[in-house]
Amino acid sequence: MPPDTGTLSTNHYTLSHLEAAACLWDAVLELRDRPDAEPRAIERALAIRKSFDTLGAAALRLIVVGWTDAVDAAWYREQESRPFSFDWGFVPQWLSEKIDWSDPRQPVIRMHHPSQHIREGESGVVHEGSRAQPPVSDPWHDHRALLARARAALEKPADLTVDNCDALIKDIGHAEKRLSASPLLWPIDVHVAVIEHRHGTNLHVALDANALDTQVAAYCREWWREIGDDGDPHSLSDRDIIETYFDDHPHESCSIDRVMLEPPIIPDRIPEHPETGTYCVLSTAHLTFQTADRLDKWASWPPSERPIDIAASVYGWFVPTRELADDRRAQLPEDLLSLIAFGRDRGFRFVLLDCDACSVDDLPVHDW
């Protein structure tokens, strides 16, 4: 297994790594060739075979051994709670739970899938009627998988069924909506430096430590004379100049931290058409003094006790124009019912009664 394939994240491969890689490959072959007589297991076997047919054994093997670190880490976390062997118990179960074979060109690890505790010898299949928790979506891997599906569809459109095409279009549309709601789709780490100096505070932010060093080093070179060093600041590396500057400066300091930015919570399905409404503004002069006095009182009552849902504004009231039940209508004066009907007939959901608004010719005006 050549170390320059990039399939394993470790730089030094121990016997344990090689054994785990071999177990993964053995388990993939077992899941492909000897599935349990259960629909999900058979469906998985067919999906694995399709990956073999699409990628070839050599390419797929490199993908599978690339999961070595992940399966090792999972075994380290869960071996106490899973009292069965690594090779024929844990690894097949991990593959069954964790690997998404839906894209034959790029099987991927489902992130943060809750582990299912099973006894040795049990199948790694979730049976119908079981109470297994669904996998928790990982936005970064989901987005990569979506791009892989789109690429495969463009490369081999003949292999795409109508249903898969419709699903892909729907998922791309959903991704577009999520991007329109927020440019940040998954958590990212940012590196932050805060420089305190006599003129105030500088804040520098970058996506990686080297880029942050470049920003802070530029500040140090600009103010190099502050530390009384006659050396050429451009002869030092970014890291060296930062350490020298803040070690020698009597009053300035630099603190560096790493912060995770979380994306906003976005609903799984963003409404196609958010609810909207309109209102018209009418003068309170279209009410009698007695009705205006009632509205003042009702606005101060608990909502459950009001004959109508109203909201007081600075200069009047918001009144809904929807149809009312007969018992509610009986509690409202005629002038208020006329205003509500006026707004409803013209397509308004609310009427704003305002003392500074103009009156209209279609409604009576009361002088008070």
- What is the domain partition of the chain in residue ranges? 3-136, 188-261, 279-354
- List 190's β-bridge partners, or say none: 259
Mean pLDDT of 310-320: 87
Please check the confidence at residue 117 and state whether its pLDDT lies above 60: no
pLDDT at 248 (0 to 100): 93
Q: What is the pTM of this model?
A: 0.38
pLDDT at 136 (0 to 100): 44
Report the C-alpha gap between 266 and 87 in whole angstroms: 40
Mean pLDDT of 256-265: 83
> Among the ranges 29-33, 131-135, 186-190, which has the highest mean pLDDT value?
29-33
Mean pLDDT of 269-273: 55
pLDDT at 1 (0 to 100): 37
Average pLDDT, the chain: 81
Please check the confidence at residue 80 and state whether its pLDDT lies above 90: no
Look up tokens 């503004």; give the residue: 281
Q: Which structure tokens are listed for 22?
A: 């071999």
- CA dist list (Å): 44 to 37, 103, 106, 109: 12, 12, 14, 14
> Among the ranges 101-105, 178-182, 323-327, 333-337, which has the highest mean pLDDT value?
333-337
- CA dist list (Å): 42 to 54, 90, 147: 18, 20, 27
pLDDT grade, residue 269 (50/70/90)? low
Please check the confidence at residue 190 and state whether its pLDDT lies above 80: yes
CB neighbours of residue 116 within 10 Å: 17
pLDDT at 168 (0 to 100): 86
pLDDT at 188 (0 to 100): 85
pLDDT grade, residue 223 (50/70/90)? very high
Please tell me what DSSP assigns to residue 273: S
Report the C-alpha gap between 277 and 51 in whole angstroms: 52
pLDDT grade, residue 274 (50/70/90)? low
pLDDT at 138 (0 to 100): 64
Half-sphere exposure of 228 (CA within 13 A, CB side): 3
- List 257's β-bridge partners, or say none: 192
Which residues, including other chains, have CB under 8 Å from residue 104's CB and lie 6 or more apart? Answer: 47, 50, 51, 53, 54, 55, 152
Cα 52 to chain centroid distance, Å, stands at 32
Calculate Rg over the CA atoms of the chain: 34
Which residues, including other chains, have CB under 8 Å from residue 89's CB and lie 6 or more apart? Answer: 82, 120, 121
Mean pLDDT of 9-27: 76
- CA dist list (Å): 71 to 30, 34, 76: 17, 21, 9
- pLDDT tens per residue across span 129-143: 333 333 445 677 778
pLDDT above 90 covers a percentage of the chain that reads 32
Q: What are the CB-based long-range contacts (under 8 Å, 24+) for 177-182?
A: 177/270, 178/266, 178/270, 181/264, 181/266, 181/270, 182/263, 182/264, 182/266
